Amino acid sequence: MSAQIVMLGPPGSGKGTQAGLLATHLGVPAISTGDIFRSNVSNETELGTLVRGYMDAGEYVPDSVTNALVRDRLGERDAVEGFILDGYPRTLEQVAALDAILEDQGRRLDAVVELVADHTEVVDRLLLRAQTQGRLDDTEAVIRRRLEVYAEQTAPLARVYGERGLLVDVDGTGDIDQVSRRIVSALA
């Protein structure tokens, strides 16, 4: 099975959950820009200070910051055999940056898995997570903004990758194992 994979989908569609499962299945790292940013925020690093305001408001971190971070991360040893990118790319500029990073490394994407789940489902999941994990961007107002930003800036990426023949649409509803099995069989 191919191992250079992007997970696409709105907030709450299950990108992080499924990226983790697929990464274990394939023996490659799951790389989440959101997780990297959050750990920098909680460790109060310089990067954390820079990105916190964007994240708390549900806005995207500037492309220049995110692209540099991903270039470094994809250059690490554990990503040589492949990776599952969760939450990157999210803008057309990030698509171009990822193309350039991979071209420099002499490789290319194998597939872009788009998790499809409707508005009510993803909002319910995020509100439920708000009660258990307290992620600062899981408030109703910020969830609404995250979904808007996704629709404006990231949803168009499905078409771009579709035109390249890389897009694999997967139904993201149902239980976690069911979705995971759908992804594995769609990629086979």
Active site residue 77: no
164 included as an active-site residue: no
For residues 130 and 136, give the distance between their C-alpha atoms in angstroms, rounded to a whole number.
8
Told to check if 48 binds Mg ion by CB under 5 A, we report no
The entry of ligand AP5, Mg ion, none that residue 175 binds, CB within 5 to 8 Å by partner kind: ligand AP5
- 123-182 residues in contact with ligand AP5 (CB under 6 A) are 125-126, 129, 137, 146, 175-176, 179
If binding is defined by CB under 6 A, does position 54 make contact with ligand AP5? yes
Contacts 24+ apart (CB under 8 A), 135-138: 135/38, 136/55, 136/56, 137/55, 137/56, 137/58
Q: Is 135 a catalytic residue?
A: yes
Structure tokens at 158: 């499905």
Decide if 34 contacts 56 (C-beta within 8 A): no
Q: Quick check: is 159 catalytic?
A: no
What minimum distance in Å lies between the beta carbon of 110 and Mg ion? 21
Q: Which of 58, 78, 66 is nearest to 142 (CA)?
A: 58
H or E segment to which residue 32 belongs: strand 30-32
Q: Which residue is nearest to ligand AP5 (CB)?
A: 34
Q: Which of 71, 107, 129, 145 is catalytic?
A: 129
Residue 129 annotated to the active site: yes
Number of H helices, E strands in the chain: 9, 5
Which among 38, 52, 90, 125 is annotated as catalytic? 90
Q: Which of 16, 20, 48, 162: binder of Mg ion (CB under 5 A)?
A: 16
Binding to ligand AP5 in span 65-104, by CB under 6 A: 66, 87-88, 90, 94
Decide the pairing of beta strands 83-86 and 30-32.
parallel
Q: Residues 12, 111, 113, 167: which binds ligand AP5 (CB under 6 A)?
A: 12
CA distances, 163 to each of 3, 75, 121, 126, 159 (Å): 20, 27, 28, 31, 6
Could you list the residues that contact Mg ion (CB under 5 A)? 16
**Residues known to be catalytic:** 15, 90, 129, 135, 146
Footprint of ligand AP5 (CB under 6 A):
9, 11-17, 33-34, 37, 54-55, 58-61, 66, 87-88, 90, 94, 125-126, 129, 137, 146, 175-176, 179
